A and B are shown apart, each in its own frame.
Chain A
């Protein structure tokens, strides 16, 4: 299927060199053109997903296992729909965090999935680096659906694609000069880390905003400007990305109360007015309405991109699954052993 939005030949390195990795463990492993390649590949799936018939048979006969060691609703659903729309057999494995966290069990589980000859494994785990650990032990492509506080690469990709669409930017364009403010629990957020990596790689000017207790040390080394004052961080912003307060990851008292948090960092209509007049609002979900974001802001028909993010999520995950299974499917130009990350 050749879509009009598919990038022209010659824009990227030929064949498998366009994405010379077996896995997608993080944005940190990707070069700028590899990020753009995945975004461009997703465009065709955005189109397909808007058709009444949303199914292809590209991945017929392949088995994709979604192994989620941490609770998830939307990401799991999004990966499941993505796999099914590509024609793959999708199996979901839920493992209660407590029962698999300890001992060799994690590796053993990975080896079990591997022995079942999965063609791709999608993993979410509560511990940073867990996905990479599994990737080292299995023979098939591994997709990171979130590992601890480390990375959530498909979220960053879908966010970049959402921005590109909202701003009406053409295929293959980056986000050069875009001012993005990410506000919330940066410390505990893998979404923030992956977004910082992808947005800075695509040329955006990224500000991060959080109270001191929720701001990671030396975050400026990642090429972003840190703020504690939300109003200052919003000045001139084209995109305001709010993060959820990850209360389940907080071992101590990071903030006095949700009410006080809202007072300083809640995105209210008045606050949003301090950003650029046409600034867009994003949130990876699930939202704590009335805490980090007001309902009036979250539900703004044009400026809130929150449901658009979910839509782009399916397309991005289709693109990632399709690209990562090309070797298994013998797509011409993708047979060769790839250079490791």
Chain B
């Protein structure tokens, strides 16, 4: 059945820059065909946005589970799946399967495992995985310790035109650490590692990417020193981009007091000074992407002593409202918020989405940016309620979501 064309009227369009402007938008055959002052044509489905924002659907770069209810709640229409799955996404068949797993109303873009089994030693079949649907390459939640392997990986990916998404923590320094070295970790007696472990990893990978002419994307940059390195590399013209999750610009390691395992993250929460540096880096453009790192974990993984618990949080539902706190605080404007959530991640993945422009896939979120609600870990759409933001009042919620021009119920 061919869907009828869709015209969304009466909203405020979130465009590349500037404040949202009143307007409408028309989609045909799953793509946006006109944006601006558009009137519905005969036979169109018409959706009245009633003054809410008409924004691109969110593109979540780096999730650990396919959790459709949570993604749809959060306005996410595309998610890049980390290769850290069981089994690891290091084989073309697994990539092909993962790429199909969300369709039609949720597109999953698998990230190919950089090395076999994510062990950091032998390159995986990256070209075959690219052709099976992998949109980028990722090192998973680990670091490739061997610089020679990393250099070969970056050179190969430069040739294939794939972005390499890396995890920036020098594993030799972090070891079995579960917290950032400092006052809090010392008091709690938690295994910890200095925050500089991140800067070291970032410095090496920038140097290697520069040498290889590759595009490296640091999935999460969470410390002031590492952000300085990214900022300087960008100024030199190195193809480097950086992302972060809301936990690292809202929370600091003070949250660990009481051994709250929902605050066990990878990389771990940092000092408040680093948290502020992340906010500043979002404001000045050093950070390109905000993603959820969605990783729903049940009690079997989280109701454990802190160091024995698994890292990660269920973040898909709170990604948009927590990012909008930056708009409310004046750190960024509305257009920039959606650039971080949609446009930039889509560009990194090389997919025709993330912007309201003719020719783009009609992935559209109707967003009420000021609708208040309270995060409740007991009532989440996600597969598990492991959020460190439980009971937090937030603003901003998706009122309707369209994937390929079709409304998702």
Cβ distance A165 to chain B, nearest Cβ, rounded Å = 28
Contact yes or no, B303 A104, CB < 8 A: yes
Inter-chain CA distance A101–B305, complex, in Å, is: 9
Interface with B: A47-55, A128-136, A306-314, which one? A128-136
Cβ distance B178 to chain A, nearest Cβ, rounded Å = 9
Contact yes or no, B306 A127, CB < 8 A: yes
**Is residue A218 within 8 Å, beta carbon to beta carbon, of the partner chain?**
yes
Contact yes or no, B307 A148, CB < 8 A: yes
Cβ distance A158 to chain B, nearest Cβ, rounded Å = 19
Known: A103-B300, A128-B259, A221-B183. A149 touches B190 (CB 8 A): yes
Contact yes or no, B188 A128, CB < 8 A: yes
Cβ distance B274 to chain A, nearest Cβ, rounded Å = 14
Inter-chain CA distance A130–B192, complex, in Å, is: 17
The B interface, classified by DSSP as helix, strand, loop or mixed, is loop
**Is residue B19 within 8 Å, beta carbon to beta carbon, of the partner chain?**
no
Contact yes or no, A190 B308, CB < 8 A: no
> Could you say which interface size class chain B belongs to?
20 to 34
Contact yes or no, A28 B187, CB < 8 A: yes
1/0 per residue, CB under 8 A from B, across A106-142: the answer is 1100000000000000000101111011000000000
Contact yes or no, A127 B305, CB < 8 A: yes
Inter-chain CA distance A118–B324, complex, in Å, is: 50
Contact yes or no, B259 A129, CB < 8 A: yes
1/0 per residue, CB under 8 A from A, across B248-276: the answer is 00000000001100000000000000000
Contact yes or no, B300 A219, CB < 8 A: no
Cβ distance A105 to chain B, nearest Cβ, rounded Å = 10
Known: A125-B305, A133-B304. A222 touches B186 (CB 8 A): yes
Which residues of chain B are near A193, meaning CB under 8 Å?
186-187, 189
**Is residue A252 within 8 Å, beta carbon to beta carbon, of the partner chain?**
yes
Of all chain B residues, the one with the shortest Cβ separation from A125 is B305
Partner of B189, one of A101, A107, A128: A128
Contact yes or no, A127 B186, CB < 8 A: no
Contact yes or no, B305 A129, CB < 8 A: yes
**Is residue A216 within 8 Å, beta carbon to beta carbon, of the partner chain?**
yes
Cβ distance B297 to chain A, nearest Cβ, rounded Å = 13
Q: What are 25 inter-chain pairs, A to B, with CB distance below 8 A? A: A103-B304, A106-B304, A128-B188, A128-B189, A128-B190, A128-B307, A129-B188, A129-B306, A129-B307, A132-B258, A133-B303, A148-B307, A149-B190, A150-B188, A151-B189, A190-B189, A193-B186, A216-B181, A217-B182, A217-B185, A218-B181, A219-B186, A222-B186, A222-B187, A251-B176
- Since A127-B307, A132-B258 are in contact, a sample of 16 more A-B pairs with Cβ atoms closer than 8 Å, ordered by chain A residue number, is A104-B299, A104-B300, A127-B308, A128-B259, A128-B306, A129-B305, A133-B303, A147-B305, A148-B189, A193-B187, A216-B181, A217-B186, A217-B192, A219-B186, A222-B183, A222-B186
The 8 A-B residue pairs with the shortest CB-CB distance in the complex, in nearest-first order: A129-B259, A127-B305, A149-B189, A150-B189, A217-B181, A130-B305, A216-B186, A221-B183
